[in-house]
Amino acid sequence: MSLFGLKFGKKKLKEEERQLQANNRDFNLQFEYANNSIKTSKYNFFTFLPLNLFEQFQRIANAYFLFLLILQLIPQISSLAWFTTVVPLVLVLAVSGVKDAIDDFNRHRSDKHVNNRPVQVLINGMLKDEKWMNVQVGDIIKLENNNFVTADLLLLSSSEPHSLTYIETAELDGETNLKVKQALTVTAELGEDLQKLTEFNGEVKCEAPNNKLDKFTGTLTLRGEKYALDNEKMLLRGCTIRNTEWCFGLVIYAGPDTKLMQNSGKTTFKRTSIDRLMNVLVLVIFAFLALMCLILAIGNGIWEYDKGYYFQVYLPWAEGVNSASYSGFLMFWSYVIILNTVVPISLYVSVEIIRLGNSFYIDWDRKMYYPLNNTPAQARTTTLNEELGQIKYIFSDKTGTLTQNIMCFNKCSINGKAYGDVYDMSGQRIEINENTEKVDFSYNHLADPKFAFYDHSLVEAVKLSDVPTHRFFRLLSLCHTVMPEEKKEGNLVYQAQSPDEGALVTAARNFGFVFRARTPETITVVEMGETKVYKLLAILDFNNVRKRMSVIVRSPEGDLTLYCKGADTILYELLHSSCDSLKEETTEHLNEFAGEGLRTLVVAYKNLDEDYFQDWIRRHHEASTALEGREEKLSEIYEEIEKDLMLLGATAIEDKLQDGVPQTIETLAKANIKIWVLTGDKQETAMNIGYSCNLLNDDMDDVFVIEGSTSDDVLNELRNARKKMKPDSFLDSDEINIQFEKSSKPPKIIPDEQANGVYGLVITGHSLAYALEGNLELELVRTACMCKVVICCRVTPLQKAQVVELVKKYKKAVTLAIGDGANDVSMIKTAHIGVGISGQEGMQAVLSSDFSFAQFRYLQRLLLVHGRWSYIRMCKFLKYFFYKNFAFTLVHFWYGFFSGFSAQTVYDEWFITLYNLVYTSLPVLGMSLFDQDVDDHWSMLFPQLYVPGQQNLYFNKMVFVKCMLQGIYSSLILFFIPYGAMYNTMRSDGKAIADYQSFALMAQTCLLIVVSVQIGLDTSYWTVVNQFFIWGSLSVYFAITFTMYSDGMYLIFTASFPFVGTARNTLSQPSVWLAIFLSITLCVLPVVGFRFLKAQLMPTPTEKVLLKIKEAKKRPPPPSPKRRLRRTSTRRSGYAFSHHPGFGALIMSGRNMRPKSPFATTGTFSPNSDKHKLKGL
């Protein structure tokens, strides 16, 4: 049963197999399958208060203050009023509670938005608009073009030929190239006939819900016949329907059971390393507090036994106290109450305010605002700011995060001449920018207006009918698997299976060779305004081994030609010997293109003899219909005809990075941050982007590729890589190996190891699955963490999270995950800090993130400016806060030895109440919200300043001990100097001044001035606010003191304000001010001396950088000229990086062609399955 949203009763049995029946809700309800509602919120109206309070009291400090409050309500031991604890405790709980409520309200709103999306559900023979959350397993729903897929569906039928359906899976795997799914023939017959669909009562048995995106097994039983179901017939939640007017699907998994939600990971409560350290320190302080109270309680017992017992007439024991030992026991608890200010509750209030303030700085930062889509940066979580200043590992998605996933035809080489660069009048190459004049394609009414090219000489060559140039673009317009869509005359839209192909065909289109239409037998091209129809005789399809594709066409003039494009390393082996000189020239151009991070491709052609071709096509048909060894036979046939090719040239495509990505990565690398790219893309694509954005370069000692297909292979590859990077890591004397030998269990934290050079590591998803197994994960983390860059390709969303978890588990480092799609949600939730990029792939990543913005380049500002400032401010705050409270509280400890250990407070009760809440709260908040050692410009210019945060140098256990010792030293000065100054002292008029109230006033005045001077020393960046807070707090102290100690207040509230006249009597004495000055000098001088000598004799790396900045400010260097990041590189082919084999066969079969109009063809993409390969050729 459910009570207030909490479920009780018997636990639901784990599902082993799913069984469901179409259009039969009653049958399906018996299995209690989840409906399509999702829930990411934590509370509801009834559970918020109990659950939130339960979570908050899990904080040790909050539980401690509740315990103190209970103690203060016991009269025998209460030495302070109860309100001194209640007010701050309620304030802390209220502030945290309101913040949690706002966060959860936003989650509720997000859930409501998703759950209330409309979808058409087939109910009682009619399509009814229903909310997503009401969809149930077994329902049949209708989706239309550009709809999000509601749940995990079995595709039943669609508007496309053979019930093909095109989907975009960017939310699942980051790939934006479309994929095709196909329904079973038996369900495809249902079409959109609602009567037939209503009568459909197929029964599905399939695997239980799981997170495997690429696998599905099940059977459909219909009219006594069984049909096998696989992943090719499934539409998964998170996909988007494209180029398909409508389709019907049967809900198999809904809501939390869908593969997307199974991959999304659990929402965990994230806490910073400083939070965890504070919990440890609070325990240490509790132990220290208990020790002090024990010493004072023992002292009280001894004193009462030795002296107090004998003059009870003057100082009677409290009611119920009948022995010195019992008195000591009570005094223990009284001192617990008095000395509790070593951990004041205002600490936690202040921490929340500081974090909230620093979060607003992120929200308000105009330099992180993206005007193109009106997206500001957003701190979605306000409790993790300082951890942004400690990041050691960044895990980044590729598509939409590093790249825009936009391919641009950038340069080319035709017949030994390179095109694409722009030169000035003197022949010097000039940088292309937004002001550079574009080529005018207005002469071509079919040109794509979005296409931009800057080299006018290429257009001139086309207009002059240069034969190689025409042949080059003719090849690009014919040799591809693109599908055209022309709904309006002249308005062409290309549906390319991979973005590369789309860019090449678009380039040919703009230069006058317009691919207009295709049928299974023909390709229609408009060449320089003249329409020509080529007969398509064969497509020699792409696969990962061939790394090329070819088409054989017959021109209208009857000429037979083979056109081929592919990887340069492959095609160069197939060229005719007459192309050697051209090959050398083209190679130079290829090297230049690759050096700029462009994706290169070589194109070639061959004129065919008619008789030879007829013989070849006969043998090709035999091979394509062979029952055994079909793939091998076809490969041999292809090899035979693709020989003695004539080289035409090369293309260079730019996979457009987001603005500033290479510079951002370079800057973050200087900050000693390691970047790992985790992507669902292919290895070639991932590596190419790695080179483009300066992650990988040819100056590296080596880039290891781990692609073993067994556990042993992966282990050997990882060990070989580690042996090359650090041979000593295999010696018995190695520190980590010693840890292994000493302990039967693997070490919890592996220290950082330094490689003997700069290395990169690339690992495929298949190999990663083995590497993440228990016995290999240590080898993986040791090898990978020695590399400067790690790229994991073809990884699933869950593997992304596992990689992040692995580094969190074995490295004492703070991790950050950044992505923009639903496939990144699990790693965003797993990392210490999750960053969502809003834009390319929906909002799922943003909704699960802690921080969000629109462009990857803003990450450097988030970390190097906001993160570093937040970390420094929090560390300064904690150091100062612990210092001032130790100095404040320990004066009570020393006073105990002079007051018979009687739990008498040194200060006035009102001073104790207001010390942390009024007198010292604003100055430290001012410093914690506005302080900065250097401004944002220098923070970005010197990324090395970020390193101390990674090493946690500014606040750790050792720093805390130093604060503690400084506080103890100051408390000694603050007690004994006023005590000595007051001892047997006379006023100038001969009257005694050595009374308790005068001593208390002098001690608290000394304390307040000393801590005010200390915060002045700790402040690096002075503002009007800082000045106002410090001087204002001192002014408020004296104003309140003179007011509360006045005759008027005493007359009105006699019991509450007993210190009548103390302020004017004491603070009017010069000797008191001299003692105050002496206390300040003795407290501050050692600190100033130590800091000066340390900076002079043993400066830290940070101090050295700060010195450089000071010198640079005095003599600003001339601005360095802007340079374009370039690199030298070996050639890498970019062809078909997102391409799937088997698509040529689908085109030649005509199964994806609409018969009604050659110009109304719907685009198509790879079926991604073996069954479509090489049929009908």
Catalytic residues: 397
3-state secondary structure of 700: coil
d(CA 253, CA 1062): 78
Question: Do 875 and 955 touch, CB atoms closer than 8 A?
Answer: yes
**Which distant-in-sequence residues (6+ apart) come within 8 Å of 879 by Cβ?**
955, 959, 963, 1018
**Which distant-in-sequence residues (6+ apart) come within 8 Å of 342 by Cβ?**
285, 288, 289, 885, 886, 889
Helix 957-982 vs helix 273-306: crossing angle, to nearest 10: 40
d(CA 241, CA 141): 13
User: Hey, which residues does 562 pair with through a beta bridge?
Assistant: 552, 606
d(CA 342, CA 282): 9
**Which distant-in-sequence residues (6+ apart) come within 8 Å of 39 by Cβ?**
111, 256
| Alpha carbon of residue 734 to chain centroid | 34
List strands edge to edge, sheet with 179-182: 179-182, 164-168, 240-242
| Backbone φ/ψ region at 772: left (φ over 0), alpha (ψ -120 to 50), beta | alpha
CA torsion, ordered 495, 498, 500, 506, to nearest 10 deg: 0
d(CA 131, CA 115): 7
Nearest-CA neighbor of 419 among 462, 451, 376, 378?
A: 462
| Alpha carbon of residue 354 to chain centroid | 23
Q: In the structure encoding, which two tokens stand for residue 315, read together?
A: 């100082």
Question: Do 190 and 197 touch, CB atoms closer than 8 A?
Answer: yes
d(CA 193, CA 186): 14
Measured from the Cβ of residue 757, the count of other Cβ atoms closer than 10 Å reads 13
Output the 3-class SS for 141-194.
EEEECCCECCCEEEEEEECCHHHEEEEECHHHHCCCCCEEEECCHHHHCCCCCH
> Over the Cα atoms of the chain, what is R_g?
38
Provide the residue type at 1136 as one letter. A
Q: In the structure encoding, which two tokens stand for residue 695, read together?
A: 């992650």
Question: Do 779 and 718 touch, CB atoms closer than 8 A?
Answer: yes
| Alpha carbon of residue 635 to chain centroid | 44
Provide the residue type at 185 as one letter. T
d(CA 337, CA 530): 95
User: Which whole-number Å values give the CA distances from 576 to 546, 571, 585, 644, 1046, in the listed order?
Assistant: 18, 10, 15, 4, 107
- The bridge status of strand 403-414 relative to strand 6-7 is unpaired
User: Hey, which residues does 652 pair with through a beta bridge?
Assistant: 411, 600
